[in-house]
Structure 1
Amino acid sequence: MPRTSRAEKSLKSCNEDRISALPDDVLRHVLGFLPADEAVHTCLLARRWRYLWKSMRRLRINKIGRWGSSSGVFLTKFVSCMLLLRDPGSTLDEVEIEYERHFDDDHTWTSTWIHHALSCQAQVLTVKFPLHQFLVCYLDGPPLVSRYLRRLQVSDVTLKSNFLKFSSCSALEYLKIKDSNLETVSSVLSQSLKHLSIEDCYLKNDGRIRISVPNLVSLQLISCGGRVPLLEGMLSLETAVVRPQVCWKDCCLEGVAEGCCGTCANCCGNDDHNGGCILFGGLSRAKNLELTADPEMFIFRRDLRWCPTFSRLKTLLLSEWCVQPDLHALVCMLEHSPVLENLTLQLCEQEKTIYGMEVEENPGLMEKPAAISGYLKTIEVKCEEVDNRVCKVLKFLSTFGIAITIQRTNR
């Protein structure tokens, strides 16, 4: 029997097409890591590859592929044809539409692609377009409908009308909206949502946007402009971070020294929900809560007029707003947190005066609150400078009889 040398075996092995020998499901999985146009182009490799792209389970529609420099009209037609030519019975696990330029001026295509992806049972959907001064991608049309969508991320778009009503997305648990405009949106509705993040967005609605997500576990509402949204009850809430921007639509124009006058329409809650808490009502079941804002943003102090009891709150982080112009807000939050264990105050450097006025000291606010939590174990104060205002806060906190940790922070 003739013997084959190692060199001959190695040469024969190099000539074998081992990738094509893999099962179809594995090849479709590999294609899912390529940009969509690159994946389609593999149909030229061999007869075995001709139709594999039609049933791959992950689509990446972005600029990285072969035709990244092509015209917007061409790319729009390509993506539309690619979706229409998929195998009718094939399903999708994940769809990513991310492009750093606009396909064309007709933004209705984007919504059409999204609805088509959901009809293919997509479980994860990411949509990202650039916000441009003159060209903006609008996502409009009827509410999304899917029994399979679990995760949705939307960035750099303008959301309109019913796009954020997810009553027909029974499996949706994670929603992230970033760097977008919420225009003429009246509400965000979902019974299944567990995690919600709205970051660096602008809420361009005449009234307050209503967020109704009763089964939410975690909430991030960070650096959003416009009118602060109205939060409805969230009985399962564990962690919430609320950090609104300063916005003229949510400020008191009559108050003195950054305070709430208590008589103007904004302070009295004379808006579309007829008074009451804007944020605290929905946050009252949280276990871990971060409320940070500049002193000019008075929405937290306004909510203190109807302050609920934070019956499960264990960890609380507050910023500048709770100690300016006096300690009333801090005292109120502590009195309404009966099981609080950990308190952190994050304070900036004090200005010489507030709007050029000196605020009178209220001696009664320097005494230990009668209803202070008996569970309070740790107090931490983070500050840039230990100035007079920080000393006043430390003097108040020292009445609790609990060791206080002071941490210097950079500007």
Structure 2
Amino acid sequence: MATRRDGSRRREGLTAEENNGDDWLSTLPDEILHNVLSFLPAHEAVWTCVLSRRWRNLWRSAPVLRIRVFQRLRNVERFNKFVNNLLLLRDPVPLDELEFQTCTYWPTMMPRPCIYQVKYAELWIRHALMCKVRVLRVLIQTEHLAPLELSMPLVSKHLTTLQLRSVNLDNHALDFSNCPVLEDLQMNFCTISTPYNIFSQSLKRLCITKRNRTETNFIDDLSSLPALEDLELESCKISTDKMVSQSLKHLCVTKCNFEMSTHISVPGLISLRLGDNYGSIPLLESMPLLVTASVKFGTLSWGCRKCRYDPGTCVCCDGDPDGDGSVKCKFFRGLSNAAKLELVAEAGMVEHYIVRSLCILKQDLTWCPTFSKLKTLLLDGWVVGHNFRALGCFLQQTPILEKLTLQLCKGHEDMVEIEESSSSMGQLVRFENLERVEVRCLRNDEWVQKVFQILNTCGVSPDKITIQV
């Protein structure tokens, strides 16, 4: 009996809110609780309705929905039914963000996979646009079935960000002229009809990523994107002789296949990154506003496919009517205004590709212009070892260089012997403004010491040289 009285006293000591099952979290404003729900998948947000009366209908007005497949919805029919009911039962309030992902529907789980694919996806997208969604992410996880087909043009005065994954797009779906505030477009593993143009007067950032598929071509008509500032291409096929944009400020092209020596004309560019591309080597035109640039030659980088890079035989590559190297300088003419430059050649390249890809570098080093703004320079061992005298010509054109980094971490055992270059380098280059030299290597061996001696010959005092092993 005493125990009952003690328990009764404990219950009497509880507040009214505690007796009702409420807690301090439930006393927070709707805006904060909606923010909590925004981090949850949609099905977990719905499950919060059983917590208390306070939570019963909060999910209906949540401004963020993250629709994802979970164990109970591994059946496509259940998934479609859940999403349809979720959107129908939701309050008619604006959406800040809608993200829906589907799982990979394996054929063994679906007797008729082509019929039961995410057939309501376009309807869900339309519903989201009607709810004034600002951020829309359509992420289809499909490895064995056809991607989602999207053929309708999007119409929204509120959509600012669109991310698509594994979606088939035709020309109608690429017309974003009816989305006047769309600024960010990301397309990952999407199949795009060719030829195609993306139309948008407001788009500022475009990211196209496509891996292990070759049917996508990137066409150079960027005039349909007059506000574009940031362009990122990864694993795309680029089959155009020129890429032109007056508005572009940042360009990143990695793991792409250049089917020809594309002339890149982007006079307003501030930062450039070219890395691990293959096929022909692109040609860079003047970039007077360039600040930072990083160029890395991949293992399958070639010269011009018209001449297979036989210097002096191709007007496309080597035409130089004035005889001053203005046309021959394919890379450095465009990079000459950079304040920070990284130049790397893949260390794992076989000899056949070394000759072809670095031949264009050697010619550029010989004809290179003055880098009047360059203060920070990084060069790797392949560039240094195979073109050491030409490198001296290049360094001679860097009058205000302050920091030089030589990266000798991979494969420098096979470099060309450079000890005979020491005296000639000292005659060519005198580092007057150089404040710091950093040599990165796997081990401090004889080859590194040779580089150290050459730097001393060029007037670099030992206290300015740091060797990082």
**Superposition TM-score tier, normalisation by shorter sequence:** 0.7 to 0.9
C-alpha contact (below 8 Å) 2:95/2:134 kept by paired residues? yes
Once superposed, what is the RMSD of the aligned Cα atoms? 4.0
* Match status 1:10 vs 2:66: no
Alignment of 1:391 with 2:449, yes or no, is: yes
Name segments (4+ residues, structure 1) moved above 6 Å. Answer: 36-40, 65-70, 105-108
Q: Is the 8 A contact 1:174 1:194 kept in 2?
A: yes
- AA partner of residue 63 (structure 1): T
1:366–1:86 CA distance, 2 compared to 1 (3 A): closer
| Corresponding position: 1:202 with 2:246 | no
Deviation at 1:193, TM superposition (A): 2.0
The answer to whether the aligner puts 1:307 opposite 2:368 as a matched pair is yes
Give the deviation of 1:251 after TM superposition: 9.3
| Mapping 1:143-158, distance limit 5 Å | 143-157=197-211, 158=214
After superposition, the C-alpha distances for 1:318-369 in whole angstroms (9 at most, x for unaligned) are 1123332462122112111111110011114543675xxx789356524243
Are the aligned partners of 2:236 and 2:255 in contact in 1 as well (CA < 8 Å)?
A: no
TM-score by length of 2: 0.67
Closer, same or farther: CA 338–96 of 1 in aligned 2, 3 Å: farther
AA paired with 1:168?
S
| Alpha-carbon displacement from aligned partner over 1:272-309 (angstroms, at most 9, x marks no partner) | 35452222111111110000114723132121232111
Q: What do the CA deviations read for 1:52-77 (whole angstroms, capped 9, x no partner)?
A: 6xx63444354359999763664464
* 1:290 corresponds to 2:342: yes
Residues 102 and 183 (structure 1), Cα distance of their counterparts in 2 relative to 1, 3 Å cut: farther
Q: Which sections of structure 2, spanning at least 5 residues, go unmatched?
A: 1-13, 27-50, 70-75, 152-167, 320-326, 348-353
Q: Helix, strand or coil for the counterpart of 1:246?
A: strand
> C-alpha deviations, 1:231-254, integer Å up to 9, x for none?
1222221111110113363399xx
Structure 1 range deviating more: 63-72 or 96-105: 63-72
Q: 1:140 aligns with which of 174, 190, 194?
A: 194
Judging changes above 3 Å, is the alpha-carbon distance between structure 1 residues 102 and 176 closer, same or farther for their aligned structure 2 residues?
A: farther
1:333 — aligned with what? 394
Q: Tell me how far apart the structure 1 counterparts of residues 388 and 149 of structure 2 sit (CA, whole Å).
A: 50
Establish whether residue 232 from structure 1 lines up as the match of residue 285 from structure 2. yes
The worse-fitting range, judged by mean Cα deviation, of 158-167 and 326-335 is 158-167
Q: Give a deviation string over 1:111-140, Cα, whole Å, max 9, x none.
A: 24852666434322222228xxxxxx3453
The count of residues paired between Structure 1 and Structure 2 equals: 378
Partners of 2:176 and 2:114 in 1: how far apart? Answer: 20
Q: Percent identity?
A: 28
- Cα 1:330–1:4 shift into 2, 3 Å: closer
- Please tell me the residue identity of whatever aligns with 2:183: Q
Deviation at 1:154, TM superposition (A): 1.8
Q: Which residue of 2 aligns with 1:244?
A: 297
1:267 maps to a residue whose letter is P
Q: Which residue of 2 aligns with 1:382?
A: 440
SS in 1 for 2:120: helix
Is the 1:94–1:125 contact (alpha carbons within 8 Å) kept by the matching residues of 2?
A: no
What is the aligned counterpart of 1:268 among 309, 312, 337?
312
Once the two structures are superposed, residues 49-105 of structure 1 have per-residue CA deviations (whole angstroms, 9 ceiling, x without a partner) of 0656xx634443543599997636644643333334554583644545453426527
Question: Which segments of 5 or more consecutive residues in structure 1 lack a partner in the other structure?
Answer: 131-136, 253-262
- Greater length-normalized contact order (CA 8 Å, ≥ 6 residues apart): 1
What's the counterpart of residue 420 of structure 2?
Answer: 361
1:374 deviation in Å?
A: 2.5
Secondary structure of the corresponding residue to residue 312 of structure 2: coil
Contact kept in structure 2, 1:102 and 1:129, CA below 8 Å: no
In structure 2, the residue matched to 1:351 is: 413
